[in-house]
A and B are shown apart, each in its own frame.
Chain A
Amino acid sequence: MGSLIAAYTVAWGVLMLYVLTLAARQRKLHRTLQKLESASATTTTGPHAR
């Protein structure tokens, strides 16, 4: 029974870990997007803007 629980836990654990890495990468993408948005706002409204 212990082996069965271990095997099922490993399977779910590996999948959960992968989903967590996807979520972390998604957050990183979101931060990059926010930086780009603020940089683009500065470029269009900043001192060089016409």
Chain B
Amino acid sequence: MASTSSLRSPSTWVFAATLGLLIVSLWWNLVGAPTEATMGTIQRIFYYHVPSAAAAWTALLLNAGASLWYLVRRSPVADALALAGAEVGLAFLTIVLITGPIWARPVWGVWWVWDARLTLTLAMWVMYASYLILRQLTPPGSLQPRLAAALAVFFAADIPIDYMSIRWWRTQHPSPVLFGGPDSGLAPRMLTALLISMAAFLAVMGCLVWLRYRQEMARGRLAALRQRQLLLEES
């Protein structure tokens, strides 16, 4: 009976739909989209690189929003959401920082250049990694959530600067293909592949944030129960 009820759960259907979307996007990325004339097959990395960046920025913006909410209301829900956003955002940022150089090596001839976009993205990875390390090292229940929330709001300033860097400055990183002005754009089938991939990655990000958020809430409740149990045993 338990399996029947879990199948009825809306989250099961959302996870299944996300997996389906990922498979559809994989077909579009490898088969549906035409091969780019100059770069050839290697251009298809773009269909994972760009959606990973979009998913990372969205998760990190969620972290910033939840942190602001925590600073105002001191809600454990906000703290758990902030943690989930940072962890999932960092995972997607890792994908961005690895797939980028894999594309750059054959196209640019170098793995890495210190241009604005790449440097800001690497700085963002270091910031959110240090945010998570800080949360691990400081004891819960102290100033930890407040300090983490304040840092997260401060770190979030990097997100719009990173997004705008290829619009504001001349960088080696390619110029934007979406919302990039009159010179930007993609062939229709390439755009379809990119949009489906973007939807799939955002859905995966949403599922992972939801799972991690629920896990963190459960961990908090268990810690409170454990504390109560210890008090009961002492009395």
Contact = CB atoms under 8 A, between A and B. Distances in A.
Contact of B233 (A7, A19, A32, A39): A39
Interface centre among B52, B106, B222 (most CB of A within 10 A): B222
Interface residues of B, number: 31
* Secondary structure of the B contact surface, majority rule: helix
A37 to B, nearest CB: 10
Bin the interface of chain A by size. 20 to 34
Contacts of A7: 45, 48-49, 98-99, 102-103
Interface in B197-235: 204, 208, 211-212, 215, 218-219, 222, 225-226, 229, 232-233
State the 10 A-B residue pairs at the shortest beta-carbon distance, nearest first. Answer: A7-B45, A7-B99, A7-B102, A18-B91, A10-B98, A11-B48, A11-B95, A14-B95, A3-B102, A14-B94
8 contacts: A3-B102, A4-B42, A10-B99, A11-B52, A14-B94, A22-B212, A29-B218, A32-B222
